[in-house]
Chains A and B, each alone.
Chain A
Amino acid sequence: MNGNEPFLQRESVKSVLASLLSIVIGLAFGALVVLVVGLTSKDLGAGSAWEGIRLIFGGLFSTGRGPTGLLTWGFNGQSIGNMLFRAMPLIMTGLSVAMAYKTGLFNIGAPGQYLMGTLVSLSVALGIPSGSLPKALIWLLAFCGALLAGALWGAIPGMLKAFLNINEVIACIMTNWIAANFVTWMFSVSSFKNVVENTKSSYIYKTTYGLVDGAYVNGAGVATAKMGLDKVFPGSQVNGGILIAVLFAVGVYVMMEKTTFGYQLKACGSNRHAARYAGISDRRNIVLSMAIAGALSAGGAGLYCLSGNTEFFWSTYQSLPAIGFNGIPVALLAVCNPIGVIFTAIFMSMLSISGLQLTNLTAYNEYITDVIIAVIVYLAAFSLVIKMWLGRRKKAGRANANAAPPPKPQPAAADDKKGGGAQ
């Protein structure tokens, strides 16, 4: 964009404004639901609704209730640390969706890739006997295993798309449910089910458990290094994984924006046929793009599982992980900018922390934050319209602004489906 353009007319500024507007509308809708429920319910009242609304907006800084029963506010290291911890896998799944979207693919397969990452990272971390290898190496093997598994899993819809022209959305949905059943199957016949602690056999061991002489011992396994973050945010789950996730975001940004490879990927996304005409192998790039997206999702699972303080409920054949799906709002809200993903992921986890506070402190529950997220995604679906509206409102006397065709944020969406006669 040239420098002469008015500030509010710039594409990037309009994107940020559109996202902020979506967030505000989403939060307002959540507040409205709470208000209506509070006012119409017999048990709740306007007072509780007001408390709920304040928690929706500022739950991160809630410190519970004071002796008089009023909500208290202030710095809450535990909440902030947990927010960063939750943001860690979300950054990865958000990157996965964003990166695929930039190359013209809608990666709704993130949940399945995430599950495959879970399967492999846990199996490697728990399968290698403690002591046979240094802990750091086991961690690294497990993480890289997750990346690889995700890449392979993501490549399946990629190949179906590239060679058989099957719509990647449908293929991804199918592979999601295949993964859910496959992971359940593998864990159900594995020896990783927690039989040491009572009533926990429906969960897989935390990775802090290690295999010592054929039995699992807590403390002998691996866990991501805390890197001092537990001192900054005492009592929270945060660990060094968040830094790794941020590094990945920067890496994806550099790859997409500063390398020839990234340029080729984006070219295929904008117009597959034109890219091929320019000598770019479109098939190879579609497969690679989905593989990288898959690796990123599964990497999120690796970081989450290898934290050492998370447990995986293995009988997952009926449900897909929310972290995978939430990569979609994270990416859309960030307009698929890898650096933006860091912030939107943190925002999403802030919402979920607010939701927890809402559950703990009031009669409302955390699902209202999912409603808010859904509203934001819904608005993201027509961010184009919002952007056009913003452009019209903030028009700075540029007569040709309206005459020019509206900018397309989803370059390949329509073209892609037109070509996909064989869905």
Chain B
Amino acid sequence: MAEEMLRMEGVSKSFGPTKANRDINLVLNKGILLGLAGENGSGKSTLASMVCGMQKKDSGKFYKNGLNYDPHSPADAAAHGVAMVVQELGVVGNLPGVVNMFLGKMDPYTKGPMVDLKAMKRDAKAVFEKWNLPLVPLDVPAGSLSIEQRKIMELARALITEPDFLVLDEISQALSQDNRQVLYQFIETFKSKGRTILMVTHDLEEMMEISDEIAVLRDGVIVESRAAGDYTMDELKRLMIGREVSGDYYRDDKEERYEDEVVLEVRNLTVPGKCEDISFDLHKGEILGICGLSDAGIHEVGSAMFGLEEGRRGSIVVKAENKELKKTSDLIKTGGAYLSKDRDAHGLMLDAGIGDNLIVPSVKELSGPAAYLSPVKTKALAQRASEAFEIKSSGLGHVVRRLSGGNKQKVNLSRWLVKDLKYIILDCPTRGVDIGVKAYIYSVLKKAKKDGIGVVMISDELQEAMGMSDRILVMKEHRAAGMLSRSSDFTEDKIMEVML
């Protein structure tokens, strides 16, 4: 009989009138990965954060290895062998990676008043080596690392205390294809040592593939929990949403279909060391996917097009107006929009309310005489965007920082999509969103395509890129390695062949 690692009995948690978790009963055995499935706002992250001591439960009990377990802080959880890589927690940007990894755990490295940084670095590297994780720069401020490097560093940080229970909340969606494989290998190794993982991911294919068991949360309640192999994809979706979800949310046509008219002409786009000599045309009504392994430069193409990268060369021309995009404001003036992969750092005003975030891109259109912003108009727009994307919150004044990852992305996207756009550059648009929102985003993209909007969709998920794109630009080592067409080349093998 499998040995028990963590038991939850009658665990509940409320935030004011909102019941985030109700009477949760769950058992996680040793050596397994339990996937926690559910829509945004279903209570997954709350449950995960209670397990790792970030939040106190209102009632109920946790037992770890048969003993009462009631962590009052993440440090206390770590002392009980529970570590985490969770959405809400990040890194301290102004401190080097090595210091970030040992925050709160420096006592063994303290010699008198001094901290032995060399020993810390040595032991940090040993963690990366032990678990076969790709080493990230440890000497530079963590804020200067890419989101992917930060996530890998957070994983290594969690492993420093040699936990036997690990909480992973939406880690894989920050990773590219190759580093996801690294993560999966790590998970296998971790489990093989009799240790347990509680994983939250919105990628249901991934969840079905790597989980041993899956528990489904809906409106804060566990509605089903059993072996992963006993679910079908449609059943899992139905359990999460509470109704039948049509089988496929991607495009069902097999042909690339777009107009001849070119919306954006990109020529020899180069950012030294990041992307080299990238050229393509984006047509009216086309979804152009951009894919590649980590460090291939796919995300930099998006940020370079938006004008965020220093030393950009080459040209990006909006053909209808024959206007060259030189700075970020040019993109917005010509009916364009850009969504960064790192929505917290580059997309949202985290400490402002939902309403303020929603109206920001439309302030010019909403402005009246003497730049007067009518509260009626701004509220109406914010309300429309909020309702269209079903943002779960206490109202337009709800601070964005307090939203779940999926709801943050809804705010990020909806404020652009209520505008009259000609083209949009999306960097991982479905990162951290649940299946319901994913389906909604894809339906919006399909509509945008139908309306003649050109879409550049940078994606770390091959299935998504294949499912939605007319063509895929595959990048390798910062350069374009091939342009594949929906009608002839869209197989995973073919794309991987070009990537590698």
Are A and B co-members of a single complex? no
